[in-house]
Amino acid sequence: MSEFTTAFIGAGNMSRSIIGGLVAGGVDPRSVSASNPSKGPLEALEKLGLTELGHSNVEVVGNADVVVLGVKPKLIQAVCEELAPVIRDDHLVISVAAGVTADNIHRWLGSKGEVVRCMPNTPSQIGAGASGLYARASVGDANRQRAEEVMSAVGVVRWVQEEPLLHAVTAVAGSAPAYFFQFMEAMIAEAGRMGLDEESARTLCAQTCIGAGRMLAEGDVDAAELRRRVCSPNGATERAVDAFSAGGLDKLVSKAMEACAARSEELAQEFS
């Protein structure tokens, strides 16, 4: 990883996850600073070796090269306007606030800084996240690389060329852990009704989900082919998959993802 200093505005779960990933990846904790209105999250960061911690957003930015905005969407305008006097033109500003456009962030920062928006998801908390990134046209190659390095600390990263595509990222990654949790919840409950104890059902279901995901991520075939390889003709798996198809699973997934993306667009309009 290249050398640069990073300031985190807000020390909530996502910020702490990214910081933890950076430190675990070999980043000197002394090159990372963070601010937060309450003391508890900062104490957690002290255990990671961070020394530049405080309650003042302006002070922790200091001479940082990268500023990560880890605050709630409803707070981001006020935070940006507070930081505007100390933001430089060459600052990389990464926002993880859902629904707040890069142009608005740039405007609130006094039309300074190179702004990148990020849509991460909750598995980032364990280093298994999936994030979509969008950069304004003014963001240079060096800061694009820095943004990718920061978010790669907690999982895989993919860039989108148009900002509205972050709504699709929300549907397929940002919100998607909840889909799998709901699916696993139903599977575990049914396994219990079949007589399997809860601990065994949970462990087997979770590991199957992990294994299936790894086969798709690490292999060279698509999901449809992986499904076909599990389904023996007239076998038990084929019977289950046929039941999903008969119940309209594909259409239900499409409807859910469309609803998610639509709500993401609505939130973007509200925060604009």
> Which stretches within the chain are classed as H helix?
13-24, 39-46, 57-61, 73-83, 102-108, 141-152, 165-169, 176-193, 198-218, 223-230, 236-246, 249-271
Query: How many CA within 13 A on the CB side of residue 208?
Result: 13
**Is 210 annotated as contributing to ligand binding?**
no
Cβ atoms of 145 and 136 within 8 Å: the answer is: no
Rounded Cα distance between 106 and 110, Å, is 7
CB atoms within 10 A of CB 227: 13
**Is 14 annotated as contributing to ligand binding?**
yes
**Is 121 annotated as contributing to ligand binding?**
no
**Is 70 annotated as contributing to ligand binding?**
no
**Is 128 annotated as contributing to ligand binding?**
no
Radius of gyration of the chain (CA): 21
CA dihedral 215, 220, 226, 232 (to 10 degrees): -110
**Is 20 annotated as contributing to ligand binding?**
no
**Is 9 annotated as contributing to ligand binding?**
yes
DSSP 22-66: HHHTT--GGGEEEE-SSHHHHHHHHTTT--EEES-HHHHHTT-SE
Secondary structure class of 83 (helix, strand, coil): helix
DSSP 214-248: HHHHHSSS-HHHHHHHH--TTSHHHHHHHHHHHTT
> Would you list which residues are annotated within the binding site for NADP(+)?
9-14
> Would you list which residues are annotated within the binding site?
9-14, 57
> Would you list which residues are annotated within the binding site for NADPH?
57
